[in-house]
A and B are shown apart, each in its own frame.
Chain A
């Protein structure tokens, strides 16, 4: 049982490049989410999904796209990277996303945009 996995662990992009951050979970959780973590700030929700085929925006969605074609996978796409997107990105999953369930986080992807 691998839990929540993320790839890559580190990535450097040039401004304007696009890329996809991968996230997968093997716990059959319906709820998955993406956060970014910046120094001196709490984790901020980018996008979330309550099940396959359903996604919604969080607090800071601009510049990011998501899709959820399977229960297991929830990739995050950066369409045209900007230096402001330099951050550490965490994917998380939980059974229902109600807040009462345990939320499991992946190890994170550290992204630098130059």
Chain B
């Protein structure tokens, strides 16, 4: 069983709408949690990084939240654009520098 579970696997929304992607993890102790955006045919690009003591971090229209007690994180995208169509990957870094990757959520934004 993957130690970093993301849901949903895929999501289709209309341009301009908001959406929230979920990440549940079981690994601990962790040093930080990142969200990456991966466009088709490209490598992942970091969106946000949060330490265990932070509970929210924003990057433009992207806002990540973290609840270390329930081991859940979410990525909220506001006013979606066509360019937001991509896979979004949740990554948990352990204190020993090991990184565990979720399988990602595939987001499609339609006009």
Q: Chain A interface (Cβ within 8 Å of chain B)?
A: 4, 35, 40-45, 90, 92, 97-100, 102-103, 105-108
- Asked if A99 and B93 sit within 8 Å, CB to CB, the answer is yes
CB distance from A106 to the nearest CB of B (A): 5
Contact B99–A105 (Cβ < 8 Å): no
User: CB within 8 A of B32: which of A40, A41, A92, A100?
Assistant: A100
A sample of 24 inter-chain contacts (CB < 8 A) reads A4-B43, A35-B101, A40-B103, A41-B2, A42-B4, A42-B100, A42-B101, A42-B102, A42-B104, A45-B99, A90-B43, A90-B44, A97-B97, A99-B94, A99-B97, A100-B31, A100-B32, A100-B93, A102-B46, A103-B46, A105-B45, A106-B43, A107-B41, A108-B43
- How many residues of chain B are within 8 Å of chain A by beta carbon? 21
**Top 8 closest A-B pairs, CB basis?**
A105-B43, A42-B101, A99-B93, A43-B101, A42-B103, A105-B44, A99-B97, A99-B31
Which of the residues B42, B89, B100 comes within 8 Å of A108, measured between beta carbons?
B42
Q: In the complex, how many angstroms separate the beta carbon of B95 from the nearest chain A beta carbon?
A: 8
Residues of B within 8 Å of A97, CB to CB, are 97
- Chain B residue nearest in CB terms to A39: B103
* Residues in A neighbouring B43, C-beta threshold 8 A: 4, 90, 92, 105-108
B interface secondary structure, majority: strand
B68-100 toward A: CB 8 Å interface, digit per residue (1/0)? 000000000000000000000100011001011
Q: Among A43, A44, A98, A102, which residue has the most Cβ atoms of chain B within 10 A?
A: A43
- List the B side residues contacting A105 at CB < 8 Å: 43-45
Which residues of B have CB within 8 Å of A100? 31-32, 49, 93
| A14 CA to B97 CA, complexed, in Å | 36
Bound Cα distance A76, B56 (Å): 37
